[in-house]
A and B are shown apart, each in its own frame.
Chain A
Amino acid sequence: MADYEVPELKEYAVVPLPEDDTMKGLKPFVAKPDFQEALGYPGKKDETKENTYLLVDGWHDKAIDKMGDLLNRYRGFRVFMDSCVKCGACTDKCHYFLGTKDAKNMPVARQDLLRSVYRRYFTFAGKFFPKLVGARDLTEDVVEEWYSYFHQCSECRRCSVFCPYGIDTAEVTMAAREILAHIGRGTKYSNEIIGKVFTIGNNLGLPEKALANVLEGLEEDVEYDIEVEVKFPLDKKGADILLVTPSADFFAEPHIDGLIGYAKVFHATNTSWTLSTMASEAANFGLFIGSYENMQRISMRIRQAAEDLGVKRIVYGECGHAWRVGYSFLNTLAGPFDFLDQNYPIPQHICEFTLDKLEKGELNIDKSRNDDMTLTFHDSCNVARASGMGDKPGGQFTIPRAVIKHVCNNYVDMEKDTIHDATFCCGGGGGLLTDDLMEIRVKGILPRATALKNVTEEYGVTHMAAICAICKSQFTKVLPYYGFTMDQIVSVHQLVSNAIILEGQVDPED
């Protein structure tokens, strides 16, 4: 099925010896000039060859200028370029290194691909003693190396947790991608998706009518199942809550079962809510490509929808990086939200909403309805290390688990060094969830698959819950390479949906 070796699952994650270039040359498809331009980037077609794109004229100076611009606009990038002492603390922390053994997938080695050029053009030592400090000229080979290895990073920030200086490879990767985009090396995957958000409204390119059909279909399905009319309102003016959710929730498994879960919670608590066509996408791939401008442009759709529909609150569905943008950046990018109800967090996570209702006893729950499963929970990187929930640090760990434990009897955590802020990425985050990067996705899942296998064997875990659309998609597609089945991945609100009993509910007879 693949022309590369799928790593073998061992009992414990083994730190490999670094090898040279095992993943050299793996890179995503380059974005066409049209898609580059739609996002404000240049592109250049090779007129002699089909589907080949060149670096734009003057790419060398443009890249250095862009690096200088980013150094002046982002303190993190500036400080991180200087402060690494090469202590090696991060070298065994990246799931892509653990899965591929490629030395350049060690976080510091990845940063050094860019830092070596920074030193050459922006520091005294690198200008005059390049060999001594590992500085190098920017060449076309270097650009191609960037394009490859900065798309083997999922911006998950696990390395930064362990760095004594808080150096965040995600910030370096974002800067590198932004520089690459400015010289004609944007990626097809992320850029086309962002383009679809601008022209159609969501990552999937699901137009208004199709979306309305999907939601209508869902209402019929749920009514058929439990004989309760659960509504999935779209563009309902004057609703209290605007639900912003990743568009995968409208069609993918197990995402859609999560969406049904949110709807049942709203139904059970008589909450007035609506989805929006304008904001039919919580995901924000502007984050992945490191573009403040694109991230802001995507975020503005949510503000606009909230204003147009006259809602009082914004709630986010289960999506990891969307929650990072929502929790950490939305107020900056699209705020201030003084027209919303200030008594609630802006925005609020669906898990915060549901836990509140569960704790107040407003939901009729029968936990035993999930007794056929033993659950564990995968902390998604952007939720775990780049956002929060509730009003205490670490709420992003306790709140989803509390929701699960309210609706399930059987729950166990995976090993300590693979959860909470030490969680391992699913392997498909940060703009890598595309078939052209399948090899890195398969190898990068290794540490998570190892931890999952261990709880499966030790505690009989049958299912892993997640609150991220990308994690769910990546797991359902890639965990089967390691002997798991697709349906072992569930949405947290799918569990809520299973356990909740709505008024008038009639269960189908088995």
Chain B
Amino acid sequence: MSTLYAFLLVAATVVMLVGLARKAKQYRKTPAPLKIPVTPAPKTTGGVVIRLAKEVVLFASLFRSNKWTWLFGWMFHVSLALVFLRHLRYVIDPEGMLGFLWPLVSLEVVQSFGKYAGITMVIGLLGLFGRRLFVARVRYISAPSDYLMLLLIMFIGFSGLTMSFISHIDIVQMKSFMLGILNFDLVDLPEGSTILIHLGLVALLGFILPVSKLLHIPGVFYAPTRNQVDNPREKRHIVEWAKKLDETRKDYPELRG
């Protein structure tokens, strides 16, 4: 069982990282032939960085749009970030290669808030799930996968919270297992079925991520509507395929008077 899980986790991580990297590469390589920032837009690159940061960190547009969706969505994502940071303690050996991250992971805010962030994360997800069920407009646009995705992450949360607050597992053993994977020296998983559910669902999430709407993770950085500088009059924007059209653009018969 431990070997199977080790394999699953490694495979899921590889699929997720490679999948995301390939998608990001595809986005980067697809040209954006026209300047289409939604205006008013920043006139400088620095301004664009601030605009994107506001979107990624604060969900600024969503805040403007709908306070409830923002509240639940932001609560979920911030909680998830804290929970993620807290989990790093299972894969970082303070003496090892990633040890330099240890001060971050051992921060009070990460370790104590991170524990309770699991709860706010699930509350956020429940809120989003409720919106999907009870707001007619959102229900209309929801496909089965939209519900399942929320359920998947919710169950990851539930199983995790169970281990944190109700039936504890041997986390020292857990860490040995994770470090074992990283050091190619496999150690057994701790006893208990909850951890199997938890890790299995996490692996599933990793596999799904690059072929699902979770592509909003790279997508948010690549939207020309948000990441372009608003300077079309000052600087000519032209992509390769459009340059080819430039060579024949004067040949139209009506231009010869």
Contacts and interface: CB of A to CB of B under 8 A. Distances in A.
A102 to B, nearest CB: 11
Interface in B206-226: 211-213, 215-216, 219-220, 222-226
Interface string A57-88: 00000000000000111111011101111111
B24 to A, nearest CB: 10
Nearest to B210: A124
Given A79-B219, A329-B34, A86 B238 contact: no
A71 B211 CA distance: 17
B11 to A, nearest CB: 16
B19 to A, nearest CB: 9
Given A157-B38, A165-B216, A301 B255 contact: yes
A471 interface: no
A74 B33 contact: yes
Given A109-B141, A132-B144, A83 B213 contact: yes
B193 interface: no
Contacts of A129: 145
Nearest to A161: B38
A89 B74 CA distance: 13
B26 A78 contact: yes
B225 A332 contact: no
B223 A112 contact: no
- Dominant SS among interface residues on chain A: helix
B40 interface: yes
A90 B61 CA distance: 10
Interface stretch (A389-397, A407-415, A446-454): A389-397
A164 B61 contact: yes
Interface in B225-257: 225-226, 230, 232-233, 235-238, 241-242, 245, 249-250, 252, 254-255, 257
A164 B65 CA distance: 9
A386 B137 CA distance: 27
Contacts of A328: 34-36, 232
A393 B62 CA distance: 21
B245 A292 contact: yes
A460 interface: no
A78 B143 contact: no
A346 interface: yes
Contacts, number: 232
B121 to A, nearest CB: 16
Contacts of A391: 43
Contact of A123 (B35, B141, B211): B211
Interface stretch (A138-146, A166-174, A428-436, A492-500): A166-174
Contacts of A134: 143-145
Contacts of A132: 143-145, 148
Interface string B107-140: 0000000000000000000001001000111101
Contacts of A308: 257
A162 B232 CA distance: 23
Given A84-B213, A91-B137, A332-B236, A125 B145 contact: yes
B42 to A, nearest CB: 7
A199 B254 CA distance: 7
Given A163-B61, A166-B223, A386-B36, A73 B145 contact: no
A73 B241 contact: yes
B34 A83 contact: no
A198 B137 contact: no
A24 interface: no
Nearest to B143: A134
B91 interface: no
B257 A84 contact: no
Interface residues of B, number: 68
Contact of B245 (A103, A278, A293, A397): A293
Interface string A151-166: 0000001001111111
B238 A166 contact: no
Contacts of B33: 73-74, 292, 332
A82 B23 contact: yes
A89 B143 contact: no
A317 interface: no
B111 to A, nearest CB: 30
A217 interface: no
A106 interface: yes
Interface in B17-61: 23, 26-27, 30-36, 38-43, 47, 55, 59, 61
B150 to A, nearest CB: 10
A331 B39 contact: no
B145 A18 contact: no
Contact of B30 (A75, A90, A165): A75
Nearest to B232: A328
A131 interface: yes
A163 B141 CA distance: 15
Contacts of B146: 85-86
B73 A82 contact: no
Given A125-B211, A132-B145, A396-B39, A332 B216 contact: no
A9 B229 CA distance: 40
Contacts of A333: 249
B65 A162 contact: yes
Nearest to B135: A88
Interface string B153-168: 0000000000000000
Given A93-B65, A162-B65, A82 B213 contact: yes
B27 A18 contact: no
Contacts of B223: 76, 79-80, 83, 165-168
A165 B135 CA distance: 21
A160 B38 contact: yes
Interface in A262-283: 278
A78 B30 contact: yes
A473 interface: no
A14 to B, nearest CB: 13
A385 interface: yes
A203 interface: no
The 7 closest A-B pairs by CB, nearest first: A83-B219, A134-B143, A393-B40, A162-B65, A166-B223, A88-B138, A166-B225
Given A164-B62, A387-B39, A393-B230, 14 more contacts: A74-B33, A75-B31, A84-B213, A133-B212, A164-B65, A165-B219, A168-B225, A297-B249, A300-B249, A301-B254, A304-B250, A388-B40, A391-B43, A396-B40
5 contacts: A71-B30, A89-B62, A92-B137, A133-B143, A384-B39
